Amino acid sequence: MSLVGATASELLSLMEKGETTAVEVMQAHLDQIDSTDSKVEAYLHIDTESALKKAADVDARRKAGEPVGPLGGLPVAVKDVLCTRGVPTTCSSKMLENFVPPYDATVIKKMNAADGIMIGKVNMDEFAMGSSTENSAFKKTRNPWNLEHSPGGSSGGSAAAVAAMTAPLSLGSDTGGSIRQPAHFCGVVGMKPTYGRVSRYGLVAFASSLDQVGPFANDVHGAALMLEAIAGHDNLDSTSVPKEVPSYTVSLDEPLKGLKIGIVKEHYVEGLNEEVEAAAREAYKVYESLGAEIVEISLPNSKYCVAAYYIIAPAEASSNLARYDGVHYGHRSESFGNSMIDMYSHSRGEGFGTEVKRRIMLGTYTLSAGYIDAYYVKALKVRRLIRNDFDEAFKQVDVIASPTSPNTAFKIGGLINDPLAMYLEDIYTISANLAGLPGISVPAGMSKAGLPIGLQLIAAPFEEEKLLRAARMLEKETGWTAKRPTLS
């Protein structure tokens, strides 16, 4: 069997049986990068030597019968928003073009401890702001299913890397859908854990009350395996929750008995693409055939989530990104007047791209005197109503199913000059971030034009196990996760 395109569990089993080695697996994926990434352009930084050295170390331990971690030498692509000691971490921004972190993010430490091997750092929308990966200062990543289309964003590089078979697993971050929407666009599994499930230490901050790190994989098991490796409390992130991490992989294959799935009546309105809706409705039927009960529910405030989010996230971003001052790290302008303030303004004006500037401006405006109550505080109140809606819904159902995003992958350049239309693409994903809930996008179909369609499932806080098991039921029945693009 081909090593590239294989799932994490298939690769682990081959390595454990001695039929292949971590070095062979790594080399096969590096070769796949060589042959495909000039088209897909997912990677920003590849450290071949270090990846192969770590793989050889795993092989030596496996051969000697010494302990090997649960990721057993698997290649992992890492979104360039996660700090990696000694390896450039740019956030796809000119601001951090030359930034080399002096420490590892906690998820990177955990990945290393589990013997996951970083194969490379991958592209994203600048500072994770965007839904297409077009806001990268360095390159435009393409959708492996159709190179004229966007891979989604902001974790477009992480999704495209898995879809292009250059890694079975990757890490991304999700502030308003940045893992789930690209997973849907690229036909892979992508999961945003509950807020506080995974440490944010070393994740370059965008909106601190919404950001979460999560896995991508080419099957549900891979996502479960990766999440298990990175989840857990961290003393370095006081918002991480001290709650035991279940073994997600162990229970994965047990179908959920008496599963109640909520479908939200407010979701099926104008703007939802027919094929995306049809794929979602087909998935509901599959669940029914497996014994699940489909219950129509209402999330009455869901139509306000995009507005609330695009007030709250930029407000937090305007504060978080104040740290880029051209003093401690990051870009410093060479041409400014002689005041300190000019130095700040020019460094930031040159270092940030359009969307980042727009969000800093938006956040500064909605937080400024005279407007804070009308915008920011109002949005925080609506956020509570949105959370209350979910709390009510989860009294009736186990998970909520919906399309992940209203459309399949749009063309590169299609929405870039219409920021509001781009924001509205996040309509189904955003509420999980506002409410802090876990969500997963799992492949559930394919459009006539050959673009993948995902189904989103959302659950109550810390119900990742339930989400993964529900996603696994669909995968087992439909086989959509086994599809691979031809990349021609």
Tell me which amino acid residue 450 is.
Answer: G
Catalytically annotated residue among 131, 178, 405, 447: 178
Q: How far is the CB of 30 from other proteins (least distance, A)?
A: 28
Q: How far is the CB of 423 from other proteins (least distance, A)?
A: 8
Q: What number of other Cβ atoms are within 10 A of residue 331's Cβ?
A: 20
Which CB sits closer to other proteins, 52 or 385? 385
Which CB sits closer to other proteins, 184 or 383? 383
Q: How far is the CB of 137 from other proteins (least distance, A)?
A: 15
Q: How far is the CB of 3 from other proteins (least distance, A)?
A: 37
Supply angle C-alpha 217, 461, 7, rounded to 5. Answer: 10
Q: Report DSSP state, residue 275.
A: H
Place of tokens 């802090």: 436
Catalytically annotated residue among 154, 402, 431, 441: 154
Report helix, strand or coil for 436.
Answer: coil
Residues forming beta bridges with residue 149, ordered by sequence position: 411
Burial class (CB in 10 A: 0-12, 13-18, 19+), 330: buried
Contact 151, 142 (CB under 8 A): yes
Strand 260-264 versus strand 399-403 pairing type: parallel
Cβ neighbours of residue 196 under 8 Å, at least 6 residues apart? 239, 240, 241, 436
Q: Is 79 tagged catalytic?
A: yes
Q: What is the CA radius of gyration of the chain?
A: 21
Catalytically annotated residue among 9, 54, 79, 318: 79
Q: What is the DSSP string of 392-431?
A: HHHHH-SEEEEESSSSSPPBTTSSTT-HHHHHHTTTTTHH
Which CB sits closer to other proteins, 290 or 377? 377
In angstroms, the Cα distances linking 343 to 324, 330, 338, 467 are 11, 13, 8, 48
Which CB sits closer to other proteins, 278 or 307? 307
Which CB sits closer to other proteins, 289 or 338? 338
Q: How far is the CB of 70 from other proteins (least distance, A)?
A: 27
Q: Is 199 tagged catalytic?
A: no
Which CB sits closer to other proteins, 356 or 453? 356
Q: Is 121 tagged catalytic?
A: no
Place of tokens 């740019």: 90
Q: How far is the CB of 427 from other proteins (least distance, A)?
A: 12
Contact 426, 309 (CB under 8 A): yes
Place of tokens 């930084």: 45
Q: Which residues carry out catalysis?
A: 79, 154, 178
